[in-house]
DNA sequence: ACTTGCTTCAAACAGGCGTTTGAAACGTCG
DNA sequence: CGACGTTTCAAACGCCTGTTTGAAGCAAGT
């Protein structure tokens, strides 16, 4: 009797590997329907394997879930690496890049990212997989944001304040991902296309933050150019 | 044979009313565990009624859920009404009040508010109950915010921009409610107590917004005064 | 060919789920 | 009281869930 497959080959066949197929299907299913609503039968149907396979490879549903979260997260890190800047890049530019990157990763139209949906579920209602997610994925990203803000404010603010400002920036992006459907109910569709695209939002969030920090003109300045980043005021 | 109780008394007994007891228990249970994980048996156990009661009063689980969301929302509106300001109140003050009110309603320590948790679930993954929630509850609140911002910017920005700025403000509050546990993993506990209490956050979000709009000094100014108004930087 | 170990499969299992049932309890009116 | 509509109840009904089972398939190794 075997409770779970004892040892896994280091780097197996790939798409042919049943284990990989199950993980992918499970991620999609868990992301879409949540842990409880997703069923092992549906997952196995989508993966093209027998229902007993999940028990054979992962033991039970809970461990399959945890593995699929980690799997999705690893895949996503591989897809969207942290930004690297050349030395001398102005911090305003770095902030804009960071925000644009974050929004693209969250809302990116490149592909409906079920990985992000799955991770969002963990953020909103953490389970065992959450801590790993935070340590491996979220904390490093957040640290980059804080360091950019530190550079931007040239040491005038302490880390606690910087973290709080970082949360303000992340929160704005977060809203559109987590509560996107409600946002779409609150503003007209034309406005969504115009002002709430990932790129336009990146401009807005960056301008908003830079203005708040005194690194750019306030949003109410007369030209009211919304679409381009601007350097410090005259 | 009765599919559902035909007509409901206008304003029934109150706590003695089984219907009311079921709604309350259901709201708590749905808020805590989600629609699928919450079971009718547990709800009825908590409400002290027979399992058949929910079918008798509401027909089935789905309609019970919808009713319980509406019930929670009505209760919450009664608890925390929209702010009313005397004529002549400065818009900076109004913004601060609004943000403080929003944060208090979302994070308020007065009581662990299962109603908010339930509504948050609707926002994050809308069902049929969501549209009503938006129309009756969220949209009016958001309209108030936009009108305050309009007053604050004295017509220099159009409604679309104002709505986008409104989203920025709401997003910051939203993060702490929806992703609170992750926030707590990212910043030290002492910092949470100090800078992330509802009141401190209200100050921060307001200052951040006012500074961005040029209605107060940037956050990096030396005295770091929170709420005093000041015109655009030199 | 025969064993050996890993993998797959159809079928079944026990338990929990939402829902239904038919009768008992209740209160109210004639 | 006896009849009646409303409300409660214990028990059951299907159905679907996660999980297990024992046998069959399969690719080496000897």
pLDDT digits (tens, 9 = 90+) for A2-45: 444 444 443 444 567 889 999 999 999 999 999 999 999 999 99
Tell whether A110 and A138 lie within a shared domain.
yes
pLDDT at A182: 96
Could you tell me what percentage of chain A is helix, strand and coil, using 3-state DSSP and rounding each to the nearest 5?
65, 0, 35
* Percent of all residues in chain A with a pLDDT value above 70, rounded to a whole number: 86
Mean pLDDT of A95-123: 86
Does some domain include residue A64?
no
Binned at pLDDT 50, 70 and 90, residue B83 comes out as confident
pLDDT at A209: 96
Q: Which residue bears the tokens 């546990």? A: B181
Tell whether B129 and B201 lie within a shared domain.
yes
Mean pLDDT of A89-109: 91
**Distance of alpha carbon A30 from alpha carbon A114, whole angstroms:** 9
Q: Judge whether residue A102 has pLDDT over 60.
A: yes
Does some domain include residue B55?
yes
Q: Which of residues 35-54 of A touch B (CB under 8 A)?
A: 36-37
pLDDT at B112: 62
Rounded to the nearest integer, the mean pLDDT of chain B is: 86
B13 CB within 8 Å of a chain A CB? no
CATH code of the domain covering residue A38: 1.10.10.60
Q: Show the tokens assigned to B113.
A: 């508010």
**Strand D: which positions are within 7 A of a protein CB?**
6-12, 16-22
Tell whether B82 and B187 lie within a shared domain.
yes
Q: Judge whether residue B228 has pLDDT over 50.
A: no
For residue B7, give the nucleotide whose C1' atom is nearest its CA. Answer: D6
Q: Which tens digit of pLDDT belongs to each residue from B32-76? A: 999 999 999 999 999 999 999 999 999 999 999 999 999 998 888
Tell whether B54 and B83 lie within a shared domain.
no
Tell whether A146 and A99 lie within a shared domain.
yes
Does some domain include residue B228?
no
Least confident of A44-58, A194-208, A212-226: A212-226
Q: Judge whether residue A232 has pLDDT over 50.
A: no
Closest CA–CA distance from residue B9 to any residue of chain A (Å) = 33
Q: Judge whether residue A230 has pLDDT over 70.
A: no
Q: Judge whether residue B223 has pLDDT over 70.
A: no
Residues within a 7 A CB radius of strand C: A 2, 5-6, 18, 49-53, 56; B 1, 38-42, 51-52, 54-55, 60-62
> Which of B13, B6, B122, B95 has the alpha carbon at shortest distance from B59?
B6
Q: Show the tokens assigned to A113.
A: 């990212």
Contact A218 B232 (CB under 8 A): yes
Distance A17 CA to D28 C1' (A): 19
Q: Show the tokens assigned to A3.
A: 């409770």
Of A residues 49-88, those with CB within 7 angstroms of nucleic strand D are: 51-52, 54-55, 60-62
Contact B191, A146 (CB under 8 A): no
Q: What are phi and psi of B39, to 5 degrees?
A: -115, 145
**Distance of alpha carbon A127 from alpha carbon B42, whole angstroms:** 22
* Percent of all residues in chain A with a pLDDT value above 90, rounded to a whole number: 64
Tell whether B108 and B12 lie within a shared domain.
no
Q: Which residue bears the tokens 């986008």? A: B164
**CB contacts, 8 Å: A175 with chain B:** 167, 170-171, 174-175
Tell whether B97 and B205 lie within a shared domain.
yes
Domain span including residue A21: 2-59
CA distances from A167 to B44, B99, B180 (A): 41, 16, 11
pLDDT at B95: 97
Q: What is the dihedral of CA B132, A204, B100, A177, to 10 degrees?
A: 40
pLDDT at A221: 60
**Distance of alpha carbon B118 from alpha carbon A95, whole angstroms:** 35
Does some domain include residue A234?
no
Tell whether A21 and A82 lie within a shared domain.
no
Tell whether A82 and A32 lie within a shared domain.
no
**CB contacts, 8 Å: B174 with chain A:** 171, 174-175, 178-179
Closest protein residue to D16 (Cα–C1'): A39
Does some domain include residue B170?
yes
> Which of A92, A145, A212, A205 has the alpha carbon at shortest distance from B167?
A205
Q: What are phi and psi of A221, to 5 degrees?
A: -60, 155
Q: Judge whether residue A61 has pLDDT over 60.
A: yes
Closest CA–CA distance from residue A6 to any residue of chain B (Å) = 32
In total, how many domains does chain B have?
2
Q: Show the tokens assigned to B160.
A: 């679309």
Helix (H) or strand (E) run with residue B43 in it: helix B40-47
Give residue B65's Cα distance to chain centre: 19
Q: Judge whether residue B178 has pLDDT over 90.
A: yes
pLDDT at A17: 86
pLDDT at A198: 92
Tell whether A54 and A82 lie within a shared domain.
no
Tell whether B93 and B150 lie within a shared domain.
yes
DSSP annotation of B220 reads T
CATH code of the domain covering residue B202: 1.10.357
State the CB neighbour count (10 A cutoff) for residue A218: 25
Residue in A with minimal Cα distance to B191: A160
Q: Which tens digit of pLDDT belongs to each residue from B138-148? A: 999 999 999 99
Backbone φ/ψ region at A93: left (φ over 0), alpha (ψ -120 to 50), beta:
alpha
Does some domain include residue B234?
no
Does some domain include residue A68?
no
Q: Which tens digit of pLDDT belongs to each residue from A166-192? A: 999 999 999 999 999 999 999 999 999
Least confident of A41-50, A71-80, B3-12, B216-225: B3-12
Contact A51, A26 (CB under 8 A): no
Backbone φ/ψ region at A2: left (φ over 0), alpha (ψ -120 to 50), beta:
beta
DSSP annotation of B16 reads T
Mean pLDDT of A187-203: 94
Distance B52 CA to C10 C1' (A): 37
pLDDT at A202: 97
Does some domain include residue A129?
yes
Contact A124, A227 (CB under 8 A): no
Q: Judge whether residue B233 has pLDDT over 50.
A: no
Prediction pTM value: 0.85
Tell whether B34 and B130 lie within a shared domain.
no
CA neighbours closer than 13 Å in the CB half-sphere of residue B141: 19
With a CB cutoff of 8 Å and minimum separation 6, the contacts of A22 are: A43, A44, A47, A49, A53, A54, A57, A58, A64
More confident residue, A124 or B172: B172
More confident residue, B88 or B5: B88
For residue B6, give the nucleotide whose C1' atom is nearest its CA. Answer: D6
pLDDT at B76: 80
């Amino acid at each position: 009797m075997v409770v779970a497959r004892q040892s896994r080959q280091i780097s197996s066949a790939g798409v042919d590997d049943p284990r990989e197929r199950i993980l992918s299907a499970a991620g999609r299913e868990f992301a879409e329907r949540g842990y409880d609503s997703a069923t092992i039968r549906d997952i196995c149907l989508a993966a093209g394997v027998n229902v007993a396979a999940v028990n054979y490879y992962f033991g039970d549903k809970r461990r399959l879930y945890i593995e699929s979260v980690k799997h999705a997260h690893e895949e996503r890190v591989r897809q969207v690496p942290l930004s690297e800047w050349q030395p001398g890049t102005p911090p305003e530019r770095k902030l804009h890049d960071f925000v644009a990157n974050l929004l693209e990763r969250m809302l990116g139209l490149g592909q409906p990212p079920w990985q992000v949906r799955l991770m969002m579920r963990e953020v909103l209602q953490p389970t065992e997989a959450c801590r790993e997610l935070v340590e491996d994925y979220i904390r490093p990203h957040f640290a980059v944001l804080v360091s950019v803000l530190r550079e931007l404010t040239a040491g005038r603010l302490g880390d606690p304040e910087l973290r709080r400002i970082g949360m303000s920036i992340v929160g704005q992006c977060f809203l559109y991902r987590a509560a996107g459907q409600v946002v779409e109910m609150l503003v007209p569709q034309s406005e969504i296309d115009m002002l709430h695209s990932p790129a336009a939002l990146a401009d807005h969030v960056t301008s908003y933050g830079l203005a708040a920090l005194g690194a750019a003109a306030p949003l109410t300045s007369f030209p009211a150019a919304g679409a381009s980043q601007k350097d410090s005021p005259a």
